[in-house]
Amino acid sequence: MTDSIKRIVIAGGGTAGWMAAGLLSQTLGKNLDIKLVESDDIPTVGVGEATIPPLMTFHKMLDIDEREFLAEVNGTFKLGISFENWREKDHKYIHSFGYAGKDCWACSFLHFWLAGKAKGIDYPYGDYCAELLASHKNKFAVLPNGRMNYAYHMDAGRYAAFLRRRSEKLGVERVEGKIEKVNLNPDNGEIQSLTLASGKQVDGDFFIDCTGFRGLLIEQSLNAGFEDWSHWLPCDRALAVQTESVGEPIPYTRSIAHDAGWQWRIPLQNRVGNGLVYSSRYMSDEQARETLLGNLEGEPITDPKPIQFRTGTRRKHWVKNCLALGLASGFLEPLESTSIHLIQRSLVRFVQLFPASGQMVQSDIDEFNQQTKLEVERIRDFIILHYKVTERDDTPFWRYCKNMEIPAPLRQRIDLFSDSARVFKIENELFGEESWIQVMMGQGITPKAYHPMADVMTEKELADFLKKLRQSTEQLVAKLPSHQAFIDYYCKMPMAQAANG
């Protein structure tokens, strides 16, 4: 294999490419020559506009000021996702980033809530979660000591441009041009260089494939292989369009199920991002266009952009001297806003496993691929959950989802929760117990039993315990400003004051 890694070539820009350039230049840039090759003639997909809380960790690594970031990307805050029409038509619930109530070492708060419900103390589960309650009331604030879990809505194109400016200041060289050929070393099969349409050759020791669905390096040149998951996630197309805002931005993403998939609405400061995800087996392109345009809340400011995809993952994300990121590594529909997170996780994992003394060894590559495979499969199962656990059978699409076979680990998790309200987070898994609880209950699963620890309290003690938690949550949320008011205030706040919360 390559003796040492001194020159890294990132093939493709967009969110994935410039996130890679940003993190590598910030962490290892002093010892690396980093080039990013992209063409102005090749548009990026650019619809990954909703994020999840771990992005804040990525921004800390890059020393990004939150207020500067929000201004650059027309960003708003996000407390979770509202799922509408998923369980059944006209039903909705919110999967928030927060934690409800107070757990004990033996069981989660859910068990105490279930015990209270059995005794007639029947307040909504969301009343005990500040993020969920604030979402309903359209309130938000960045609180001291991380007392409010949140993420962002943002303009993906502006985010890539924002990261580009920072990366170039740290020495990343952008090379304009369309990649015509990937040149392999005849002796070891590694990528040796890229030939551009202009005839220019870009040499490197390590290559990061951010060429989108094409997988120009990882698949077309290195034959990584692809594992198809469309039998579990049958949506294969999307239409994206931007609209004018019709009101103040809400602090959550909306996911609205329709006859053959779902529609997203993502509020930014200056506009709303919309999209329709659907299965071409159950809905024609023309029907999808009519459905999307007939369910917009503001006037369109762009034409609907069609996107075709196949859900699944590369069998290997790191092959020889090439790492695949973003759409080049596979695709999980953005139902839980995990696309940018998977880019981030792969980059962090790559830095953690960066070849010792610059020399690649197969054990590092195998470890990367194993960890990535497990992480992607767990996220896949969480997304499948939304489709499988439904009461809808009103269309062929939903009947298929309701009756389809699912991965055995997911079936075990559903059965465990249904039987005894138990959820266990697997090591290094993205979605924790609270996420599984909120979605499974939101989709209609009511556990048959709860932990006996919840019956140790007397009925009065339990009632007082639940009342105190609910009141503290309500009091916290009552003090919060509206989402819009906080954005207006926070983005004008002096930097030192913002840093101190």
8 A C-beta contact, residue 453 and residue 111: yes
Report d(CA 307, CA 241) in Å as an integer: 11
Q: Which of 35, 78, 320, 388 is catalytic?
A: 78
8 A C-beta contact, residue 47 and residue 21: no
- In terms of Cβ atoms closer than 10 Å to its own Cβ (0-12, 13-18, 19+), residue 213 is middle
* Opening angle at CA 347, ends 145 and 311, nearest 5: 105
Q: What are phi and psi of 279, to 5 degrees?
A: -100, 120
User: How many residues can be counted in the chain?
Assistant: 501
How far lies 180's CA from each of 11, 197, 203, 492, in Å? Answer: 12, 5, 14, 47
Classified as helix, coil or strand, 492 is: coil
305: annotated active-site residue: no
> From its phi and psi, is residue 109 left (phi > 0), alpha (psi between -120 and 50) or beta?
alpha
8 A C-beta contact, residue 54 and residue 482: no
Question: Which one-letter amino acid corresponds to residue 104?
Answer: C
8 A C-beta contact, residue 209 and residue 324: yes
- Give strand pairing partners of 81: 95, 253
Please compute Rg for the chain using Cα positions.
Answer: 23
Residues noted as catalytic: 78
